[in-house]
């Protein structure tokens, strides 16, 4: 029984899409979302839903892929490293939704002193209420880190939304010695054990290759278990990317950053080019991409300090790279599904997202097969994007419309 999407329904039947299941290879089929989960995936669900009141959607011409899993983002807004005027704004729910992101892990950055980790936790809880599968890392840029409960170990053990530990390696005021990294890894291991989870150590590396080399030395000396480590921002330059390839060969997860791109930061490696290089040289299961949304960079024009106005990085950057990868064919569809969804989900130990399969959270996207544009997004079974536009919104800002002032 077909129902219009605005009638009372218990689910949605997406018909005739090119469904990218766990293999990532597109095959024409139907996907049934019931409640918050994927209830059925089949070549032709025909009359299977029977009397179930479900909304039917013609998904022909679209790839049906799992929502993206963004393991590095700043939902409270990042920045702040160049003075209070460089603090970014919080990212509204609909920016994540429209960018195809279903799962996000929030980070503290240079803003950690003035925006306590409790603020990040509260924002994560709020995004969850709106339907996003949101988590956070304890830890931050500085070392020793600000925490919620007073220690990394307690944060991991006691706060369910805390999925792992973030730290920065090599910058001033960050981790600069092997012993510090070993201490942090020990705290992460003990706290994760108390939480009953695998440890996740998410390590920000600087453009200076000394930082990522410190990670390599710590792993070589057995201070840190490689499979617990993700190094992020590996596309700063060729030297950092080469070190990342070496680390991936030892079992470390390597994460490309969508907002590190030559247009924003001269001399950096285009994210798609970095992904292609990694996929050609290391185990594909080790390779991921994240947005780092919430950070910013000066555009070089007309800022108050003469260095340029700030441009804030939005989650859309991730969707742009997915679309470019699809259009150019630089990454095959199964590779895109892996690096944007399946691999980061596995890295985070999240078993209910990252794949289109029965029982998974109903976080799926319909992507126009030719343009790569995200046409529709569903989060926990609820449609949050339709015809490319968000239909569920965060707080509207009470500002007069442009031109009406
Ligand atoms: Zn960041």
Last residue of one domain, picked from the residues 297, 329, 348: 348
Distance 326 CA to ligand 1 centre (A): 25
Claim to verify: residue 32 and residue 164 sit in the same structural domain: no
Claim to verify: residue 86 and residue 46 sit in the same structural domain: no
What's the pLDDT band for 3 if we cut at 50, 70, 90?
A: low
End-to-end CA distance of the chain: 49
Claim to verify: residue 45 and residue 106 sit in the same structural domain: no
Claim to verify: residue 328 and residue 383 sit in the same structural domain: no
Q: What average pLDDT does the structure give for the chain?
A: 93
Claim to verify: residue 54 and residue 168 sit in the same structural domain: no
Quick: pLDDT tens for 135-192: 999 999 999 999 999 999 999 999 999 999 999 999 888 999 999 999 999 999 999 9
**Can you tell me the distance from the alpha carbon of 282 to that of 266, in angstroms, rounded to the nearest whole number?**
26
Distance 282 CA to ligand 1 centre (A): 24
Distance 74 CA to ligand 1 centre (A): 6
Structure tokens belonging to residue 137 = 């890392």
Instruction: Output the pLDDT for position 263.
Output: 93
Number of H helices, E strands in the chain: 10, 20
In a domain, 402, yes or no: no
Give the H/E segment covering residue 184.
helix 178-195
**Can you tell me the distance from the alpha carbon of 7 to that of 95, in angstroms, rounded to the nearest whole number?**
26
**Can you tell me the distance from the alpha carbon of 137 to that of 235, in angstroms, rounded to the nearest whole number?**
22
Average pLDDT over residues 78-102: 93
What's the pLDDT band for 405 if we cut at 50, 70, 90?
A: very low
In a domain, 404, yes or no: no
Asked if residues 2 and 339 have their Cβ atoms less than 8 Å apart, the reply is no
Distance 335 CA to ligand 1 centre (A): 24
In a domain, 15, yes or no: yes
Claim to verify: residue 241 and residue 295 sit in the same structural domain: yes
In a domain, 100, yes or no: yes
Of 365, 369, 371, the residue nearest 69 (C-alpha): 365
Cβ neighbours around 10 below 10 Å, total: 15
| Residue whose token pair is 């960050």 | 174
104-118, 144-158, 195-209, 281-295: which range is least confident on average? 104-118
Of 362, 367, 355, the residue nearest 381 (C-alpha): 362
Average pLDDT over residues 325-343: 98
Distance 78 CA to ligand 1 centre (A): 7
Quick: pLDDT tens for 44-75: 998 766 778 999 999 999 999 999 999 999 99
Asked if residues 353 and 345 have their Cβ atoms less than 8 Å apart, the reply is yes
Distance 387 CA to ligand 1 centre (A): 30
Distance 109 CA to ligand 1 centre (A): 6
Distance 372 CA to ligand 1 centre (A): 26
In a domain, 400, yes or no: no
Give the H/E segment covering residue 154.
helix 152-158
Distance 385 CA to ligand 1 centre (A): 26
Distance 259 CA to ligand 1 centre (A): 10
Distance 48 CA to ligand 1 centre (A): 45
Distance 211 CA to ligand 1 centre (A): 16
Claim to verify: residue 138 and residue 46 sit in the same structural domain: no
Quote the domain boundaries for residue 74.
68-348
Asked if residues 38 and 356 have their Cβ atoms less than 8 Å apart, the reply is yes
CATH number of the domain within which 43 lies: 2.30.40.10
Claim to verify: residue 331 and residue 360 sit in the same structural domain: no
In a domain, 403, yes or no: no
Claim to verify: residue 328 and residue 366 sit in the same structural domain: no
Distance 168 CA to ligand 1 centre (A): 10
Domain count, the chain: 2
Distance 25 CA to ligand 1 centre (A): 31
Asked if residues 314 and 99 have their Cβ atoms less than 8 Å apart, the reply is yes
Structure tokens belonging to residue 39 = 């209830």
- How far is Cα of residue 246 from the mean position of the Cα atoms in its chain? 24
Quick: pLDDT tens for 288-309: 999 999 988 887 665 555 567 8
Structure tokens belonging to residue 191 = 């706290």
Claim to verify: residue 157 and residue 147 sit in the same structural domain: yes
pLDDT surpasses 50 at 1? no
Distance 404 CA to ligand 1 centre (A): 36
Claim to verify: residue 72 and residue 62 sit in the same structural domain: no
Distance 403 CA to ligand 1 centre (A): 34
Distance 100 CA to ligand 1 centre (A): 19
Distance 79 CA to ligand 1 centre (A): 8
Distance 120 CA to ligand 1 centre (A): 13
Last residue of one domain, picked from the residues 348, 379, 398: 348
In a domain, 399, yes or no: no
In a domain, 405, yes or no: no
pLDDT surpasses 90 at 274? yes
Distance 292 CA to ligand 1 centre (A): 5
Positive or negative, the CA dihedral 225, 168, 257, 243 is negative
Claim to verify: residue 10 and residue 87 sit in the same structural domain: no
């Amino acid at each position: 029984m077909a129902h219009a999407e605005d009638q009372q329904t218990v689910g949605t039947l997406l018909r005739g899409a090119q469904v990218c299941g766990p293999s990532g290879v597109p095959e024409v089929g139907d996907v049934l979302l019931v409640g918050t989960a994927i209830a059925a995936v089949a070549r032709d669900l025909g009359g299977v839903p029977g009397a179930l009141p479900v909304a039917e959607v013609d998904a022909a011409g679209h790839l049906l892929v799992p929502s993206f899993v963004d393991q590095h983002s700043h939902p409270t807004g990042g920045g702040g490293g160049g003075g209070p005027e460089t603090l970014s704004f919080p990212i509204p729910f609909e920016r994540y939704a429209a960018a195809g992101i279903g799962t996000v892990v929030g980070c503290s950055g240079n803003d950690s002193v003035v925006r306590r980790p409790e603020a990040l936790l509260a924002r994560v809880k709020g995004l969850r209420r709106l339907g996003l599968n949101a988590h956070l890392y304890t830890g931050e840029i500085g070392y020793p880190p600000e925490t919620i409960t007073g220690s990394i170990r307690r944060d991991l053990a006691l706060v369910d939304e805390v999925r792992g530990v973030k730290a920065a390696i090599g910058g001033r005021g960050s981790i600069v010695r092997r012993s510090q990294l070993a201490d942090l890894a020990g705290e992460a291991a003990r706290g994760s054990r108390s939480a009953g989870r695998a440890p996740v150590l998410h390590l920000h590396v600087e453009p200076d290759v000394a930082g990522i080399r410190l990670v390599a030395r710590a792993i070589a000396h057995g201070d840190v278990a490689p499979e617990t480590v993700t190094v992020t921002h590996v596309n700063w330059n060729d030297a950092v990317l080469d070190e990342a390839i070496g680390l991936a060969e030892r079992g470390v997860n390597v994460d490309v950053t969508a907002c590190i791109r030559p247009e924003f930061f001269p001399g950096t490696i285009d994210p798609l080019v970095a992904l292609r290089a990694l996929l050609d040289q290391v185990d594909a299961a080790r390779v991921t991409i994240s947005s780092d949304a919430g950070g910013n960079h000066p555009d070089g024009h007309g800022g108050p300090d003469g260095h340029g106005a700030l441009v804030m990085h939005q989650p859309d950057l991730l969707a742009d790279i997915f679309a470019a990868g699809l259009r150019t064919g630089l990454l095959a569809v199964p590779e895109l599904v892996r690096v944007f969804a399946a691999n980061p989900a596995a890295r985070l130990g999240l078993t209910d997202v990252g794949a289109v399969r029965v029982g998974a959270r109903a976080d799926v996207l319909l992507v126009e097969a030719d343009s790569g544009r995200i046409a529709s997004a569903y989060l926990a079974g609820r449609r949050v994007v339709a015809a490319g536009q968000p239909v569920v919104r965060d707080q509207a800002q009470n500002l007069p419309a442009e031109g009406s002032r």
